[in-house]
């Protein structure tokens, strides 16, 4: 019998890569996504179209994870695992729209956990975020460090969801892994994220908005590496609850990001310096020892190589 998996947010950037990965391995995949208009919905439709080529093993349900009645009504299969990626994404918009972020992200997780309980789904993978570390300055950030100081409603919603998962793992024996992603990039990256936004503007000769210092930095993670970590988490069968960083263990400064984009896209950036934004962090960096130990996780690409692959994906879609 084929393995079955339920992926929420599967029409999005990371979710569509995971969906294709599981389909290519012969799994039956059900995607739940409400096609949220946070960015151009046609991008999500294209992502789904790629998955439809796998035929009957792929099923798409346009559902909202905050609507428990509809979820419970339409989802009956005995899934082997849930990967819950559906969320309102982005730190900055959560500062201007906190109630929606809090509601969709925590209520959505609560609903998916309830569904896991109702359908006896044994494994729940939750996609958390590096933003939960917040103002912690003890780099690289380790999962053992309890000094979590989030500074945005988005980050708080992710941390609250991790805690909900802990409760369900203890109450009902559902294995819950919270994977804290560190800024993910690569083909199909969300258009609101810096790399995608900067590349587009640089190609069009427009200034790029740089909020805060050129010395601020991010631990960027190539999407294929994230998928490798997610894939291992789906098969993980040891402890009942874990929080695991999926990053690259290397901080790239804003200055270095812009220089590498200039090299890869062969164009010069015009920088529009702006004040730091509420909710932004100065720097992120992941300790990935736990991911290596528990999941055999090993990020494989240099930053420049990852950006070249991102550029090639834009060329392929004739977006350059």
Ligand X SMILES: NC(=O)c1ccc[n+]([C@@H]2O[C@H](COP(=O)([O-])OP(=O)(O)OC[C@H]3O[C@@H](n4cnc5c(N)ncnc54)[C@H](O)[C@@H]3O)[C@@H](O)[C@H]2O)c1
14 binds ligand X (CB under 6 A): yes
Show the tokens assigned to 155: 């980050």
**Which of 79, 154, 168, 297 is flagged as catalytic?**
154
Burial call 65-83: b when 16+ CB within 10 Å, e when fewer? bbebebbeeebeeebbbbb
The strand pair at 58-61 and 81-84 is best described as unpaired
Total residues in contact with ligand X, by rule CB under 6 A: 29
Nearest-5° Cα angle at 46, 105 to 203: 95
4-12, 92-100, 235-243, 286-294 -> range binding ligand X (CB under 6 A): 4-12
List 3, 50, 54, 64, residue binding ligand X (CB under 6 A)? 64
Nearest-5° Cα angle at 257, 210 to 246: 110
List 79, 124, 133, 181, residue binding ligand X (CB under 6 A)? 181
162 binds ligand X (CB under 6 A): no
Window 108-147: contact mask with ligand X (x via CB under 6 A): x------------------x-x------------------
161 binds ligand X (CB under 6 A): no
CB nearer to ligand X: give 103 or 268. 103
- The alpha carbon of residue 243 and the mean position of all alpha carbons in its chain are separated, in whole angstroms, by 15
CB nearer to ligand X: give 61 or 267. 61
List 5, 11, 18, 71, residue binding ligand X (CB under 6 A)? 11
CB of 226 to ligand X, least distance (A): 8
219 binds ligand X (CB under 6 A): no
Return the H-helix or E-strand segment holding 21.
helix 13-24
How many angstroms separate the CA atoms of 112 and 157, rounded?
A: 15
12 binds ligand X (CB under 6 A): yes
List 65, 75, 177, 281, residue binding ligand X (CB under 6 A)? 65
Window 287-316: contact mask with ligand X (x via CB under 6 A): ------------------------------
CB of 51 to ligand X, least distance (A): 12
248 binds ligand X (CB under 6 A): no
183-191, 197-205, 267-275, 305-313 -> range binding ligand X (CB under 6 A): 183-191
For residues 23 and 53, the answer to whether their CB atoms sit within 8 Å is no
CB nearer to ligand X: give 60 or 267. 60
Paired strand residues for 32: 8, 61
Please say if 154 is a catalytic residue.
yes
DSSP, residue by residue, 185-254: ESTT--TTSHHHHHHHHHHTTPPEEEES-TT-EE--EEHHHHHHHHHHHHH--S-SEEEEEES-S--EEH
Q: Where are the alpha helices (DSSP H) in 25-175?
A: 41-52, 68-74, 91-96, 98-102, 108-118, 153-172
Q: Which of 152, 267, 142, 251 is nearest to 200 (CA)?
A: 267
CB nearer to ligand X: give 34 or 232. 34
Reply yes or no: is the peptide bond before residue 292 cis, omega within 30 of 0.
no
Q: What are the residues whose beta carbons fall under 8 Å from the beta carbon of 48, sequence distance 6 or more?
A: 10, 11, 16, 31, 33, 60
Residues 189-218 touching ligand X, rule: CB under 6 A, are 190
Give catalytic residues, as residue numbers.
Answer: 154
User: What is the contact surface with ligand X in residues (CB under 6 A)?
Assistant: 8-9, 11-15, 33-36, 38, 44, 64-66, 85-89, 104, 108, 127, 129, 181, 183-184, 190
């Amino acid at each position: 019998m084929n393995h079955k998996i339920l992926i929420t947010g599967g029409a999005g950037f990371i979710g569509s890569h995971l969906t294709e990965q599981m389909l290519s391995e012969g799994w039956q995949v059900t995607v739940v996504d409400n096609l949220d208009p946070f960015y151009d919905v046609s991008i999500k439709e294209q992502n789904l179209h790629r998955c439809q080529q796998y035929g009957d093993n792929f099923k798409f349900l346009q559902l909202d994870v905050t609507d428990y009645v509809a979820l419970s009504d339409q989802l009956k299969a005995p899934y082997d695992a849930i990967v819950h990626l559906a969320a309102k994404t982005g730190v900055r918009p959560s500062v201007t729209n906190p109630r929606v972020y809090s509601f969709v992200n925590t209520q959505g997780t609560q609903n998916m956990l309830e569904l896991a309980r109702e359908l006896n789904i044994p494994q729940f993978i939750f996609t958390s975020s590096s933003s939960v570390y917040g103002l912690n300055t003890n780099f690289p950030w380790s999962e053992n460090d309890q000094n979590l100081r989030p500074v945005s409603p988005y980050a708080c919603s992710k941390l609250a969801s991790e805690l909900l998962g802990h409760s369900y793992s203890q109450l009902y024996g559902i294995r819950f892994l919270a994977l804290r992603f560190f800024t993910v990039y690569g083909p199909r990256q969300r258009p609101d994220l810096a790399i995608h936004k900067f590349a587009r503007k640089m190609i069009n000769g427009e200034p790029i908005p740089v909020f805060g210092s050129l010395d601020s930095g991010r631990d960027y993670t190539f999407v294929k590496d994230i998928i490798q970590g997610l894939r291992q988490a789906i098969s993980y069968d040891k402890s009942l609850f874990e929080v695991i960083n999926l990053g690259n263990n290397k901080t790239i400064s804003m200055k270095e990001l812009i220089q590498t984009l200039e090299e890869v896209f062969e164009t010069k950036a015009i920088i529009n310096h702006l004040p730091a934004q509420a909710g932004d962090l100065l720097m992120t960096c992941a300790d990935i020892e736990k991911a290596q130990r528990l999941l055999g996780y090993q990020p494989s690409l240099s930053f420049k190589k990852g950006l070249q692959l991102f550029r090639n994906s834009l060329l392929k879609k004739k977006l350059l």
